């Protein structure tokens, strides 16, 4: 039997492979929308099965580590965090798949004006995804905290784009189907951001052993910022 | 130190308490929409903090059981399933909260015709929620399988209502805001059904030690039915 430390490294490496698949799926699904890139959309849809497969492999491996070794303290937190991050990554993959479906539907019509919001929101969300994954790789609590601080900005952008798209529909009923697709894209991006937040919280739990979910720590130790809605 | 068996019972009881809070939140959020019941909506919103708190308590307790005992086989599967089901329940609570917000927004305008779909979809989703929780309580693999079989029906209803609401908006631009809210309610109901499916899968893993996610078992051992998108 290999040494436990090597197995923990293997678990981290499997999760990193999952991260890179999911990050790529998110990035490609956004290109599919903003650049009407059909190839990118198809690529996301065809990679989903692989992401689902890796999710199962990681869960099985993590559970076998719990069963075979009796991990304590930091090792136990790493394995529990891996199980949770794995679930979040798989859901992010699902959301990228939903965005790819919307992208294909959007390709059937000329691009409408409110589109300009999407690259802005997408840029912020992609930055949250990247930082949360880097925070996991580097066990970097400060980086994880910076992800938590971005969540409100995404919520505000989502809310603004929602109202913009509603009033657009009211004035251009011919674009209703497209606008509904765009609302769904923005909502999916916001949910990807939420999962990045979950991952950042799991990193803080893993690194520091503290639980910051649902503001258990109180504003994540940050002073600035106000809650929206 | 109390006996491990008692602690596992306590974990199950905590999860049951969580179940009953979440099931009630889902049920009340649906009443808020279908009966324009403002009191129900406010109740869902005010109970969310309690659900978040129980989620943290369950996670902490499950992790302490992993740390203090060295659970094997069925006990380990129970604890891992509890961690996963806990996450799904908390997300279902979040979705009930989203539905309650939409319900409040919908109360501001007269009810529009496509409303008739919601009670039908809601009834099916509530039945999935109840069955998945009962399957957990009773460790009932057959009941869990019946939840998996309902998922496609919910997807089809969601898809039909989506197209109905889009064409409604095209003909009644004045109702766009309401129709978008209703699309969101249906989408949230479908996601609650997805989480019920996750719980049913976790119950099968816990009871049988088999992994049925992503059709790993092949159509859940069912012969009939076709995948929709």
Q: What tokens does A195 get?
A: 């999962």
Rounded (10°) angle between helices B117-138 and B141-171: 160
Question: Which candidate in A4, A55, A67 is best for mutational testing of the B interface (most B CBs within 10 A)?
Answer: A67
- A87 to chain B, any CB pair closer than 8 A? The answer is yes
The pLDDT, as a whole number, for residue B221 is: 36
How far separated are the first and last CA of chain A, in Å rounded?
52
Q: Say which of A80, A183, A216 has its CB closest to residue B180.
A: A183
- Quote the ipTM score: 0.80
CB contact under 8 A, A169 and B166: no
CA distances from A112 to A162, A192, B24, B82 (A): 14, 24, 41, 46
Q: Is residue B226 part of a domain?
A: no
Q: Is residue B229 part of a domain?
A: no
Question: What stretches in chain A show pLDDT beneath 70?
Answer: 1-2, 111-116, 210-229
Q: Is residue A61 part of a domain?
A: yes
Closest CA to A144 of A130, A132, A129: A132
CB contact under 8 A, B173 and A177: no
**CA of A34 vs chain B CAs: smallest distance (Å):** 23
The pLDDT, as a whole number, for residue B219 is: 33
CB contact under 8 A, B56 and A101: no
Taking contacts as CB-CB distances below 8 angstroms, the residues of chain A near B72 are 67
Report the domain count for chain B: 1
The pLDDT, as a whole number, for residue A197 is: 95
The pLDDT, as a whole number, for residue A215 is: 54
Taking contacts as CB-CB distances below 8 angstroms, the residues of chain B near A202 are none
Contact A103, A36 (CB under 8 A): yes
Q: What tokens does B85 get?
A: 């089901």
Q: Is residue A166 part of a domain?
A: yes
CB contact under 8 A, A63 and B83: no
- B70 to chain A, any CB pair closer than 8 A? The answer is yes
The pLDDT, as a whole number, for residue B224 is: 33
CB contact under 8 A, B176 and A169: yes
- B170 to chain A, any CB pair closer than 8 A? The answer is yes
Range of the domain at B133: 4-221
Residues comprising chain B, all counted: 229
What DSSP state is assigned to residue A224?
S
Cα distance between residue A57 and residue A54, in whole Å: 5
Burial readout A77-105 (b: 16 or more C-beta within 10 A, e: otherwise): bbbbbbbbbbbbbbbbbbbbbbbbbbbbb
Taking contacts as CB-CB distances below 8 angstroms, the residues of chain A near B183 are 180
Q: Is residue B162 part of a domain?
A: yes
Q: Is residue A228 part of a domain?
A: no
Question: What stretches in chain B show pLDDT beneath 50?
Answer: 1, 217-229
The pLDDT, as a whole number, for residue A113 is: 63
Q: Is residue A206 part of a domain?
A: yes
* 3 state SS of A112: coil
Q: Say which of B73, B176, B211 has its CB closest to residue A170.
A: B176
CATH of the domain at B47: 1.20.58.220
Residue whose token pair is 């009834």: B123
């Amino acid at each position: 039997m290999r040494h436990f430390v090597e197995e923990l490294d293997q678990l981290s490496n499997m999760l990193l492979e999952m991260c890179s698949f999911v990050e790529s799926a998110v990035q490609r699904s956004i290109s599919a929308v903003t650049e009407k890139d059909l190839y990118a959309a198809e690529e996301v849809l065809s990679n989903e099965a692989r992401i689902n497969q890796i999710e199962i492999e990681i869960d099985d491996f993590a559970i076998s580590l719990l069963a075979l070794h009796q991990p304590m303290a930091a090792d136990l937190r790493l394995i529990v965090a891996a199980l949770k991050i794995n679930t979040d990554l798989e859901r992010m993959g699902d959301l990228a798949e939903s965005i790819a479906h919307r992208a294909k539907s959007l390709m059937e019509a000329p691009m409408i004006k409110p589109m300009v919001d999407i690259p802005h929101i997408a840029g912020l969300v992609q930055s949250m995804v990247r930082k949360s994954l880097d925070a996991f790789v580097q066990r970097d609590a400060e980086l994880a905290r910076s992800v938590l601080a971005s969540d409100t900005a995404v919520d505000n952008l989502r809310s603004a784009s929602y109202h913009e798209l509603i009033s657009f529909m009211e004035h251009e009923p011919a674009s209703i189907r497209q606008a509904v697709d765009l609302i769904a894209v923005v909502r999916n991006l916001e949910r990807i951001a939420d999962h990045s937040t979950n991952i950042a919280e799991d990193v803080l739990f893993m690194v520091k052993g503290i639980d910051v979910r649902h503001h258990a720590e109180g504003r994540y130790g940050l002073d600035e910022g106000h809650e929206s809605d």
